[in-house]
Amino acid sequence: MRREFTAISVLSMLIAFMAGTVICMQIANVETPSGWEVSASVLWTLEAAIFGTAVYAWRPAVSLVGWVLGIAGLTLVRVGLTVAAAAGLTAMSGGETIYPAMQNTADAVPRVSAILFSAMICYPLRLFLPERAPRRPADARRFAESAAVKSATAAAGAEGGVLIVTVKDRGATVEDESRMAAETHQAPPLPVPDMEGAINLPASAILAQLPREMVTEKALAVADSHDVPIPLEAILGQLREARVVVSISQVMEWLPSRVRKALVQPAELTLHEDAVELPLNLVVTRLPPEALALPPPSPPAWADVGTSEGVVFATTQ
Amino acid sequence: MASINYALKEISCKIVYYGPGMCGKTTNLQFIHQRTMREKRGNMVSLATPGERTLFFDFLPLEASQIHGFRTKFQLYTVPGQVMYNSTRKLVLRGADGIIFVCDSQWEKMRGNLDSFHNLIGNLSSYGYSLESTPYVVQYNKRDLPNIAPIEYMQYVVNPRQVPSFESIAIHGNGVFESLNAACTMVLAHLSQKQKAGVV
């Protein structure tokens, strides 16, 4: 928004100020017709009303502070215009003080012109007025009474009873993942089967998991004909977590020496700390069935439906 | 919480479909809505983003057969699966009498299933509930896709207690009513057990 306030805005404000001063001086020189005199209090009230309306018209969402600031700013500029015009008149007439000239420039007609010009001068500054915070729906009742829900309810009959309210995703309830992780609960531990042995994974599948800068064309070519034995003890303890992660140094140990020699170790990589995830589908499908054995079922009491009557829903087909 | 209205001879229960994003919770509800008789169901309310992702919840009121002279009504809800909407999930879960945990059978969603299951346990515990005290079934959805994990492994990851579980293809309706019927039967049996014990 503030990008709209450019050097051209400043230039136009200066020009308007000069034009306002000159016109105010010209009007102040014209003798006020009889019956046009207005008391100072009426003039101040009129001025505040005009400025207040102008600020609100320019920025309907203005905050109370912004509105007061706007009126004060406009008044200040108007006074500045009047004083500048009085100073100009004094200089032209060779007077010693500007007070007599100010009497003229503060009259009703020159003052109205100063008010109009101060509005023109300050118009570009409206962008800086603070706005009030947007209102948010207080609770779900407001949502239920919203136009979107009402229109969707009306359309529900035509849609065969499906009420779909499409709303803009504002991410209002967005929470960071760390909080969610903190709230998660660890499932009861399962005994890890004590099994020895290894499963063979294709070396190419493992190379695909390594950092790209490590893997050379030669390594890929050599890997095609090799399998990598992965010890079960490195896998079984992690199966419950739905992923198998091993350090790169461990992978390097398991790789056939020909493949290992064809790999490049980038300087920034720490083999012991950096890890790779083994492809779960290849790991699980190669496991012996005993590896996924569960203890005898221990369903909670509610799972015992006994002789309970089953629930039947009336379906159309 | 289930409510029993003895004057109207009516039982009302809340069933929540829980699971990771895009696993097919809304599809389950849509199929149920499609296939139940008009006079036995209300409107399905779905609060979704323009991309058809559930933003708040889906809701479908349903009436089942009479049991011991009582009309049984079920309010089916789904939660938004996306990780960021945990407050909403928690809110929808409040007062749930039964849960249908829907898993995505694809390999790449295994971790998401597990995270969602842990999240379910965490959210239940924030209300003082647990899976020991809340009837639930597990539904292994998308069994028609090519890159799916074997049931044995999915059981191992999300269902070590071996509660009733069902394979499903929600988009075609396979396994949808089986899961719902099992969950509802367990909810009513649990309610009856609690009544006998004088808890309700």
β partners of residue B76: B15, B60
Query: Across A16-30, A191-205, A286-300, B30-44, which has the greatest mean pLDDT?
Result: B30-44
Q: How many domains does chain A have?
A: 2
Domain contains A178: no
pLDDT band (50, 70, 90) for residue A174: very low
Q: Residue A51: is its pLDDT beyond 50?
A: yes
Tell me if chain A has a CB within 8 Å of the CB of B195: no
Mean pLDDT (whole number) for A57-76: 90
**% residues pLDDT > 90 (chain A):** 21
pLDDT band (50, 70, 90) for residue A143: low
pLDDT in tens, A211-232: 888 888 888 888 888 899 999 9
pLDDT band (50, 70, 90) for residue B120: very high
| Of B10, B171, B159, B30, the residue nearest B99 (C-alpha) | B159
Q: Determine the residue of chain B that is closest to A281 in CA distance.
A: B107
Mean pLDDT (whole number) for A294-305: 79
Domain contains A118: yes
> Minimum mean pLDDT among A70-74, A106-110, A309-313: which range?
A309-313
Q: Which token pair is A169?
A: 């995703």
Mean pLDDT (whole number) for B59-63: 89
Tell me if chain A has a CB within 8 Å of the CB of B32: yes
Inspect the interface and report whether the beta carbons of A167 and B47 lie closer than 8 Å: yes
Domain match, A9 and A118 both: yes
**% residues pLDDT > 70 (chain B):** 96
> Minimum mean pLDDT among A208-212, B51-55, B74-78, B171-175: which range?
B51-55
Inspect the interface and report whether the beta carbons of A164 and B35 lie closer than 8 Å: no
Q: How many domains does chain B have?
A: 1
> Can you give the pLDDT at residue B11?
92
Inspect the interface and report whether the beta carbons of B119 and A183 lie closer than 8 Å: yes
Domain match, A11 and A100 both: yes
Identify whether the C-beta of residue B7 lies closer than 8 Å to the C-beta of residue B70.
no
The domain of A217 spans 198-292
Identify whether the C-beta of residue A242 lies closer than 8 Å to the C-beta of residue B110.
yes
Domain contains A29: yes
Query: Across A298-312, B60-74, B108-122, which has the greatest mean pLDDT?
Result: B108-122
Inspect the interface and report whether the beta carbons of A302 and B65 lie closer than 8 Å: no
The CATH number for B131's domain is 3.40.50.300
Query: Across A18-22, A156-160, B11-15, B190-194, which has the greatest mean pLDDT?
Result: B11-15
Q: Residue B144: is its pLDDT beyond 70?
A: yes
> Can you give the pLDDT at residue A166?
52
pLDDT in tens, B174-197: 999 999 999 999 999 898 888 877
Tell me if chain A has a CB within 8 Å of the CB of B3: no
> Minimum mean pLDDT among A293-307, B26-40, B65-79, B121-135: which range?
A293-307
Inspect the interface and report whether the beta carbons of B161 and A242 lie closer than 8 Å: no
> Can you give the pLDDT at residue A176?
41
In chain B, residues 118-177 whose CB comes closer than 8 Å to chain A:
118-119, 121-123, 125-126, 131-135, 147, 149-150, 152-153, 155-157, 160-164, 177
ipTM: 0.85
Distance of CA A311 to the CA centre of its chain: 47
> Can you give the pLDDT at residue A5?
78
pLDDT in tens, A119-141: 989 888 888 888 887 655 454 45
Q: Residue A254: is its pLDDT beyond 90?
A: yes
- Given A165, A174, A183, which is nearest B47 (Cβ)? A165
Helix, strand, coil fractions of chain B, as percent rounded to 5: 35, 30, 35
Q: Determine the residue of chain A that is closest to B52 in CA distance.
A: A166
Mean pLDDT (whole number) for B95-100: 96
Boundary of a domain, candidates A98, A128, A158: A128
> Can you give the pLDDT at residue A202?
93
Domain contains A237: yes
Mean pLDDT (whole number) for A225-249: 92
β partners of residue A247: A275
> Minimum mean pLDDT among A253-262, B111-120, B150-159: which range?
A253-262
CA distance, residue B89 to nearest chain A CA (Å): 10
Q: Which token pair is B100?
A: 């249908």
Q: Residue B108: is its pLDDT beyond 90?
A: yes
> Can you give the pLDDT at residue A173?
42
Inspect the interface and report whether the beta carbons of A242 and B88 lie closer than 8 Å: no
| Of B36, B94, B113, B77, the residue nearest A242 (C-alpha) | B113
Domain contains A156: no
Domain match, A113 and A231 both: no
Mean pLDDT (whole number) for A279-307: 85
Give the CA dihedral A270, A272, A274, A276, nearest 10 degrees: 140
Residue with tokens 């706005």: A131
Domain match, A219 and A118 both: no
Distance of CA A36 to the CA centre of its chain: 56
* Interface probe with B: pick from A151, A239, A313, most Cβ of B within 10 Å: A313
Domain match, A23 and A119 both: yes
> Can you give the pLDDT at residue A308?
67
Mean pLDDT (whole number) for B136-140: 97
Q: What are phi and psi of A129, to 5 degrees?
A: -75, 130
pLDDT band (50, 70, 90) for residue A171: very low
Distance CA B1, CA B15 (A): 10
Domain match, A109 and A27 both: yes
What predicted TM-score, i.e. pTM, was given to this entire model?
0.65
The domain of B148 spans 3-196
CA angle (A38 as vertex; A47, A116 as ends), nearest 5: 35
| Of A280, A278, A242, the residue nearest B116 (C-alpha) | A242
> Minimum mean pLDDT among A168-182, A273-287, B66-80, B104-118: which range?
A168-182
Distance CA A111, CA A79 (A): 9
pLDDT in tens, A7-34: 888 888 899 998 988 888 888 877 766 6
